[in-house]
Amino acid sequence: MTSFINVFRKISNIGARVGSYFLVGIMILVVASIVIRPFGRAIPGSYELIELLIVVTVAFAFAYTMVKQGHISVSFLVSRFKPRVQAIIASFIWFLSLGIWGLISWANTGLMLDKWSRERSLFLEVPFLPFRFVWVFGLLLFCLALAIEVYNAVKESMKP
């Protein structure tokens, strides 16, 4: 299982790197749009491009943040229990989160397959399919990270 987790961490790190490149592209596009605006010019479709590029950044950020334990959790009440009870509660919460995000991933996959050839942006007519695919892939990576957390929490709750 540890080799699987290591491979998953490498994939999420690569995804985070790709997402950060897209974020840099977004920043360059925003700055270029601001700089040329006083000259009466505008970058055609810059808003659409930013909307599409942010999908890649956010999709990969979910799983990476999960791997780095960066999501916010409020454990004020739970921290007062014994470690085994904490692990049991964590197992339940991670499993519930996995169920919710699994449903969200499933619904997005259905949406992607339903509208795979018809959806395009309004101004530039960029097809949404590659961005929907990246979004679903990012959600599946996030669900995989949640499944790893469920496994770790259950393993922790089984300790005597």
Alpha helices in the chain (DSSP H): 2-36, 46-67, 83-114, 129-157
Kindly report the pTM of this predicted structure: 0.84
**Which phi and psi angles does 101 have, rounded to 5°?**
-70, -25
Q: What is the count of structural domains for the chain? A: 1
* Nearest-angstrom CA–CA distance, 18 and 37: 29
Give the pLDDT confidence score for residue 76 in this predicted structure.
72
Per-residue pLDDT of the chain (160 residues; tens, 9 = 90+): 778 888 888 998 899 999 999 999 999 999 998 898 888 888 888 888 999 999 999 999 988 888 888 777 767 777 788 888 888 888 898 899 999 999 999 999 988 888 777 788 888 888 888 899 999 999 999 999 999 889 888 888 887 6
* Three-point CA angle 14, 18, 21, nearest 5°: 140
Q: Which domain holds residue 59?
A: 2-157
